[in-house]
Each structure stands twice: as structure tokens, then as C-alpha cells.
């Protein structure tokens, strides 16, 4: 049997390696149009920042490695021009000699990856404009920075690569301006959580502009849609990627609703003996069961392995994705999985949202706070999505949430997890467990929460309510929400009978814990409608920063 693979990065090499494991008698050839194979693309921003000194660290394997270890032939600088399924042949060009030849296959794997989105910007072909998709791009950016002694740069787009590139270029003392056409930074998460990223950017002297598109790049300037001119030495475009499907579509291979190659759970396309994997295929979402396009290195490796196993006698199925991501930004970690609030509402879910601010371990052990936003389905209690912004320990928590959501865990189940505990690593009541507690209470409406945005809507609509600040009086004097009344929790016990029990009552403290006690007190005293401000005053000040100056 003869296997041909198109593409030799994560998915293609994974497919070939697992096929060889299953079938020693198989002839395996991989065609790769680039000169680099099996590289760590996610490490490229760290090379630009100097954290990775040797480019070889991103290139752990070469064609000789695959030939010696797996008896797999990888031909670099060879591009497949066309696939002919009717006779199982390929048209290939040697990019060095320009020779075109025909090869045949019994099984074919398409792992052509993705290409950068190219926004309609005049001047995008300027010498100082770069994309960061592969090692060649990385080398060009690195060399340009050194040769031109770049002092400032504009980065278009604030996804994972855009933010990680910004972070790392700062290490080279390059002044960064981020431009994001969406309303907030890092659109993969909700706007309230993005506020924490925006705050960190400002604290680290990175300028950002949201809600604006780049219209033109000329000379040393970037011109925005509102006419703003940004002087710059260099531009990095990080506007996402599209699946590379040209030769697949030309061969009659079906594309899905996302524009990527449509495959079944075994990575089979609509044409017999042709499989596809990696960044060129669409996946399906574990929660919604709908097609999605989430190009991630981890998924590429996984789908490559599944394709290689099934074409060589195995029987394994892909189980879907949650769109999980994590990144380092300065000393922070930002992670998310599952549905955002916006996505859940778009999908028609009736949801409960909570914000839980907790330290990763006790303060006496150097614990630092993380903000967790969790979303659950009111219909059946399932956790739908989680976003975390924090420092140490975010990776541990997001992976627990990923596992929980994958297996359909209910919010109430989170509290019952037997998580590892030691003061060196966690609190006795871990943030994951506490998130489950708050979610469950909010979902059964016994302890309802209100978000900062919902509170603002109530205040602006003049709906009758009372807003109680349950903190100590000195905290209230330092900063408080406009129209709130200072009634510290101990005093609230004394005066609660004097308050109108039928009136909508909203309580808050710094993070939500004291306010939860105040909420319990009022509910036990017969108050009909009592809300706790989700995330507390600290979260409110992050989400509604433009109003802080008048609320002191």
C-alpha cells in the first residue's frame, strides 16, 4: 500500500508516523512545499522576543529523522498542484528544479494547513509589513528588526498570536500599538474579561485602539478608518487564518459550512481513500455539536493521529473540541474553554453567569488572585464555558474545567471534586470548587447574581432599587459605586427591619464574599428580591472604568 501525505507540519507528520506504527509494509511519502517541517509554530513569538535563543529549538525534526526512525520519505520544496481522485494520482512540482511529475497513491492525507487572513488594506504589500504564520515569516521579522533597528511597531489583530507577539516585542524595547476592529481586545473572550487584559496592556505601556480598522499603510504610517495616523517602523498583521483548501476543492472534495474541508469522525472526506486533518479541516463543537473552525496545534496533532490510524487499519473517532486556548501575557495567564457568554446567548441557551475572584493558594504562601467567569445552562445545570485571567495556577484550573465540560459535568458536581490540596498548591476550597458552589446557588435562584452591566442598566433606567455597600465605612469612603448606601454587614443586621422588603435590593463588597453573607441575611429576613453584584466592587471597577472617577 502506498500512502501520500500533503503537508509535513503537525498533522501530516503525525498521520504518517502512526500509519508506519500500524503498517511496516506501507510506502509513505510526504510532500511539503516549505523548506521547514514539523516545527513548533506556537513558539515563534518567543523567538522574536529572545526567550528562545536558538532557532533549532523550534525545529526538532528534519526529513532525515523521519527517514531513519520511521522510514518515511519527506520531500521538501515540493508542492502538490492537483489531486486526481479518478485515477488516484497527484501532480507535483519540484520548486527547486521546476520539474513537474505525476505520483500515485492508494491512500491520501491532505494536511495543507491554513493561510493568513489578508484584510483589504491598501499598502499591505509594503516592505515593512509582515505576517507570522511559519518559520520563514519569523526569520523575516527577526532580521528586519535587527537590520532596521525597529523602535515601534503596529500589530493588527489581538488574537493569541497578536498579543503574544506584542508581549515578546516589548522585550526588545519596541513600542507597540495594537489595533483591533472588534469592540474589545482578544475577541475570543467576553468583553468584561477582556477589560483585565486591557488594564494589563496599559500598565505595561502598550497602546491599543479598538473598534477601528486599518485603511492604509504608507511610508512610515498606518492610517485608521477614523483618520488617525500611527507612525511606525513595522507592521505585523495578525488577523486570523483561513483553511488552505484550494487543491482539495478543485479535486471535488467537499467543504463544510466553515469553509474548511468537511470530514467525518474518522477524518475521511467525501472521496474514498482521501483523508484530511489539521488546520485545513473543520471540527465540531462538543457542546453545540455544530461545525467550527478552531486551528490549534494540539488539535492538528490529534486529528493527524486519528487519520493515520484509520487509514492503516485502526478504528478511532474524533470527539470534538471546546475551543480551549491559553496564553501568557507579561506575568499573566489568560485561558478559556467552551462557550463564551455571547456565544451561549447566540446559541439560544438560558444561562447563569458568575464571576469568582479567588487566590490560587493561600496568601501566606504567596497566592495571587485569579478571576474566573463561568457560564452554565439553566435547563440541565451543565457547565458551558469558563474564562480565567490570573497568574500562577490558571493552567491547572482551566484543564480541570475542560475535563469537567468534556464529560458533561453539572455545576453542582464541581464542589464535590476531590482535588489535590496543599497550601503550596491550592486552597482547601479550591477556586474550581468555589466556582461550582456559586454557580449552583445562582442557578437555583436562591442566591441570584447581577453583573456590572446589568446594574448599570438598572441605574440608567431609574428602576426602583436600593444599592447597599456592605464593606467597612473606610472602604466606602475611599471608593464606591454612585448612589450606593454604606451599610456594613454588622450594621445591616441591626437596621434591615427598617428597609423595604419588597424593593429590589442589590448588595456588594470588594469581591462578593461579604455581600453573599449580606444577601443571605436579607433573604432569611424575608426580603423578596436580593442580588449580589457578581465579582464585587473590584470587578465592577474593571468593567465600568469610565465611571470610576465620579464614584469615589
With helix as H, strand as E and coil as C, how does 480-498 read?
CCCCCEECCHHHHHHHHHH
CB count, 10 Å around CB of 350? Answer: 10
Q: Show the DSSP H helices in 381-481 as ranges.
A: 394-406, 411-414, 431-443, 452-461, 473-478
395 — phi, psi (to 5°)? -60, -40
Would you say 303 and 113 are in contact if contact means Cβ atoms under 8 Å apart? no
Sheet bearing 214-218, strands edge to edge:
214-218, 221-224, 229-231
**207 - beta bridge partners?**
177
Would you say 371 and 196 are in contact if contact means Cβ atoms under 8 Å apart? yes
Indicate which residues carry an active-site annotation.
Answer: 42
- pLDDT at residue 133, as a whole number: 94
Query: Which of 3.30.565.10, 1.10.150.120, 3.50.50.60, 3.30.70.141 would CATH assign to domain 331-443?
Result: 3.50.50.60
- pLDDT at residue 548, as a whole number: 41
Structure-block grid coordinates of residue 167: 508581549
Query: Which of 1.10.10.10, 3.20.20.70, 3.50.50.60, 1.10.3720.10 would CATH assign to domain 2-114+242-311?
Result: 3.50.50.60
Angle between helices 10-22 and 297-311 (to 10 degrees): 30
- pLDDT at residue 274, as a whole number: 98
Question: By three-state DSSP, how is residue 520 classified?
Answer: helix
Closest CA to 320 of 379, 241, 408: 408
- Cα 119 to Cα 238, 279, 339: the distances in Å are 10, 20, 27
Ranges of CATH 3.40.250.10 domains, the chain: 450-550
Helix (H) or strand (E) run with residue 311 in it: helix 297-311
Q: Is residue 303 packed enough to be buried (19+ CB in 10 Å), middle (13-18) or exposed (0-12)?
A: buried
Would you say 92 and 43 are in contact if contact means Cβ atoms under 8 Å apart? no
CATH superfamily for 129-239 is FAD/NAD(P)-binding domain (3.50.50.60)
Sequence-distant (≥ 6) Cβ neighbours of residue 133 within 8 angstroms: 41, 114, 115, 116, 241
Q: Show the DSSP H helices in 109-176 as ranges.
A: 135-148, 160-170
What is the rounded CA–CA span in Å between residue 240 and residue 396? 27
- Cα 504 to Cα 204, 392, 519: the distances in Å are 41, 38, 12
E-only strand ranges, 98-212: 100-104, 107-110, 114-116, 129-131, 152-156, 175-180, 207-210
- pLDDT at residue 236, as a whole number: 97
The CATH code for residues 450-550 is 3.40.250.10
- pLDDT at residue 546, as a whole number: 55
**Cα 477 → chain centroid:** 39
- pLDDT at residue 552, as a whole number: 35
Ranges of CATH 3.50.50.60 domains, the chain: 2-114+242-311, 129-239, 331-443
Q: Show the DSSP H helices in 444-488 as ranges.
A: 452-461, 473-478
Q: Walk along the chain (552 residues) and give the pLDDT tens digit of each residue.
A: 999 999 999 999 999 999 999 999 999 999 999 999 999 999 999 999 999 999 999 999 999 999 999 999 999 999 999 999 999 999 999 999 999 999 999 999 999 999 999 999 999 999 999 999 999 999 999 999 999 999 999 999 999 999 999 999 999 999 999 999 999 999 999 999 999 999 999 999 999 999 999 999 998 999 999 999 999 999 999 999 999 999 999 999 999 999 999 999 999 999 999 999 999 999 999 999 999 999 999 999 999 999 999 999 999 999 999 999 999 999 999 999 999 999 999 999 999 999 999 999 999 999 999 999 999 999 999 999 999 999 999 999 999 999 999 999 999 999 999 999 999 999 999 999 999 999 998 987 778 999 999 999 998 888 899 999 999 999 999 999 988 999 999 999 999 999 999 999 999 999 999 999 999 999 999 998 999 999 999 999 999 865 443 333
Structure-block grid coordinates of residue 383: 457547565
Q: Do the strands 129-131 and 234-237 form a parallel or antiparallel pair, or are they unpaired?
A: parallel
Would you say 395 and 432 are in contact if contact means Cβ atoms under 8 Å apart? no
What is the rounded CA–CA span in Å between residue 470 and residue 468? 6
Amino acid at each position: 500500500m502506498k500512502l501520500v501525505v500533503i503537508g509535513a507540519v503537525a498533522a501530516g507528520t503525525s498521520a504518517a508516523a502512526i500509519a508506519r506504527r500500524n503498517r511496516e509494509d506501507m510506502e509513505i511519502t510526504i510532500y511539503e512545499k516549505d523548506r521547514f517541517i514539523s516545527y513548533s509554530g506556537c513558539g515563534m513569538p518567543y523567538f522574536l522576543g529572545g526567550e528562545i535563543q536558538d532557532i533549532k529549538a523550534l525545529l526538532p525534526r528534519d526529513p532525515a529523522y523521519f527517514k531513519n526512525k520511521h522510514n518515511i520519505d519527506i520531500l521538501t520544496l515540493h508542492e502538490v498542484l492537483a489531486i486526481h481522485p479518478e485515477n488516484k494520482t497527484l501532480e507535483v512540482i519540484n520548486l527547486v528544479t521546476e520539474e513537474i511529475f505525476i505520483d500515485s497513491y492508494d491512500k491520501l492525507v491532505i494536511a495543507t494547513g491554513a493561510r493568513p487572513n489578508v484584510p483589504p488594506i491598501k499598502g499591505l504589500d509594503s516592505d515593512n509589513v509582515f505576517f507570522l504564520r511559519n518559520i520563514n515569516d519569523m526569520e523575516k521579522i527577526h532580521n528586519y528588526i535587527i537590520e532596521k533597528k525597529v523602535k515601534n511597531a503596529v500589530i493588527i489583530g489581538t488574537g493569541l498570536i497578536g498579543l503574544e507577539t506584542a508581549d515578546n516585542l516589548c522585550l526588545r524595547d519596541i513600542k507597540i500599538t495594537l489595533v483591533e476592529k472588534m469592540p474589545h481586545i482578544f475577541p475570543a473572550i467576553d468583553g468584561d474579561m477582556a477589560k483585565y487584559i486591557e488594564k494589563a496592556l496599559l500598565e505595561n505601556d502598550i497602546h491599543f485602539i479598538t473598534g477601528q480598522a486599518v485603511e492604509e499603510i504608507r511610508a512610515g504610517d498606518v492610517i485608521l478608518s477614523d483618520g488617525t495616523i500611527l507612525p511606525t517602523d513595522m507592521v505585523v498583521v495578525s488577523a486570523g487564518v483561513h483553511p488552505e483548501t484550494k487543491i482539495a476543492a478543485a479535486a471535488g472534495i467537499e467543504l463544510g459550512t466553515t469553509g474548511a474541508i468537511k470530514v467525518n469522525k474518522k477524518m475521511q472526506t467525501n472521496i474514498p481513500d482521501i483523508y484530511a486533518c489539521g488546520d485545513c479541516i473543520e471540527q465540531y463543537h462538543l457542546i453545540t455539536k455544530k461545525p467550527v473552525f478552531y486551528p490549534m496545534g494540539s488539535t492538528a496533532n490529534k486529528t493527524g493521529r486519528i487519520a493515520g490510524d484509520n487509514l492503516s487499519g485502526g478504528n478511532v473517532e474524533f470527539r470534538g473540541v471546546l475551543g480551549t486556548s491559553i496564553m501568557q501575557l507579561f506575568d499573566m495567564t489568560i485561558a478559556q474553554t467552551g462557550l463564551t457568554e455571547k456565544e451561549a446567548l447566540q446559541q439560544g441557551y438560558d444561562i447563569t453567569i458568575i464571576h469568582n475572584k479567588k487566590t490560587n493558594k493561600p496568601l501566606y504562601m504567596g497566592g495571587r488572585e485569579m478571576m474566573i467567569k463561568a457560564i452554565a445552562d439553566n435547563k440541565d445545570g451543565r457547565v458551558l464555558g469558563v474564562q480565567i485571567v490570573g497568574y500562577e495556577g490558571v493552567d491547572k484550573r482551566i484543564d480541570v474545567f475542560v475535563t469537567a465540560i468534556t464529560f458533561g459535568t453539572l455545576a453542582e458536581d464541581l464542589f464535590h471534586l476531590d482535588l489535590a490540596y496543599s497550601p503550596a498548591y491550592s486552597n482547601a476550597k479550591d477556586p474550581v470548587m468555589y466556582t461550582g458552589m456559586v454557580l449552583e446557588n445562582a442557578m437555583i435562584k436562591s442566591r441570584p447574581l447581577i453583573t456590572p452591566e446589568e446594574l448599570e442598566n438598572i441605574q440608567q433606567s431609574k428602576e426602583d432599587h436600593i444599592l447597599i455597600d456592605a464593606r467597612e465605612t473606610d472602604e466606602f469612603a475611599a471608593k464606591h459605586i454612585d448612589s450606593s448606601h454604606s451599610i456594613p454587614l454588622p450594621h445591616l443586621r441591626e437596621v434591615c427591619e427598617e428597609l423595604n422588603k419588597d424593593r429590589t435590593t442589590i448588595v456588594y463588597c470588594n469581591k462578593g464574599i461579604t455581600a453573599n453573607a449580606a444577601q443571605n441575611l436579607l433573604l432569611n429576613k424575608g426580603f423578596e428580591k436580593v442580588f449580589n453584584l457578581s465579582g464585587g466592587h473590584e470587578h465592577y471597577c474593571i468593567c465600568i472604568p469610565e465611571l470610576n472617577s465620579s464614584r469615589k
